[in-house]
Amino acid sequence: MTNPKNVSPKQIKLTPEIILQAYSAGIFPMAKSRHDNELFWVDPEQRGVIPLDRLHVSRSLKKQVRHNKFNIRYNTDFKGIIMRCAKQTKGRHETWINDKIIALYTQLFKEGYVQTVECWQDEELVGGLYGISLKGAFFGESMFSYESNASKIALIHLIARLNEDGFALLDTQFTTDHLISLGAIEISRSNYLDQLDKALLINTKFNTHGSELSHQIYIEKLLSNKLR
């Protein structure tokens, strides 16, 4: 969910179908910057993942989640999510999401492969994330926050949903201090590919219309470390 460390010099022309094939093979596309017109394959030697049963949540963040600080929605404003993720901010001077990425992932969203988790406050979109769901794997792409902890709370709801729906892998591409604080780890490429192959054997889908009671049960299990 951050800038690439290992970028192939080979430029490629992508279609939504090729993107899905690439994710299945363990690689993904990025741009060097927001206004760069080219896309590149990325195949990191070390891959960031968050084990779905080992989320780290601070006491203060647990309190915010339990108090329902935000209204959580799924897949209602993909354009709002990706455009905010692509936007340069004071703390993020450059992003890897260019116009080609926006167009391709918009098509994947229309086809049902891209999912969003959105944090709303007073009918304003103030945080969230998006990623690709494919079988039992979820490939996190980017996140943003306009309010304190909004992206972290979106991630907590994502992980609860993935556990609820039987997913096996949450790929964050790389690690950052932000993600490490929540339990992200780095694993080798070979370890990642083993986990990916197993996840792609799981026949499941990201369910945006599940039971709210069931979802809250999984949220509480996460916060109480009862998924291990």
Full pLDDT tens readout for the chain, 228 residues:
444 444 443 555 679 999 999 999 999 999 998 888 888 899 999 999 999 998 999 999 999 999 999 999 999 999 999 999 998 766 666 788 999 999 999 999 999 999 999 999 999 999 999 999 999 999 999 999 999 999 999 999 999 999 999 999 999 999 999 899 999 999 999 999 999 999 999 999 999 888 889 999 999 999 998 876
pTM, to two decimals: 0.92
* Amino acid 209: pLDDT: 84
Identify the CA nearest to 174 among candidates 200, 149, 192. Answer: 192
* Amino acid 95: pLDDT: 84
- Residue 220 neighbours by CB under 8 Å, 6+ apart: 226
Has residue 120 been placed in a domain? yes
Has residue 85 been placed in a domain? yes
Rg (alpha carbons) of the chain, rounded to whole number: 16
Has residue 133 been placed in a domain? yes
Has residue 2 been placed in a domain? no
Has residue 18 been placed in a domain? yes
φ, ψ (nearest 5 deg) of residue 19: -60, -45
* Amino acid 227: pLDDT: 79
* Amino acid 37: pLDDT: 85
Domain that holds residue 79: 7-223
Has residue 1 been placed in a domain? no
Has residue 162 been placed in a domain? yes
Has residue 50 been placed in a domain? yes
* Amino acid 53: pLDDT: 92
Return the CATH number at 96: 3.40.630.70
Count up the domains in the chain and report the number: 1
H helix or E strand, kind and range, residue 175? none
Angstrom distance (rounded) from CA 203 to CA 132: 15
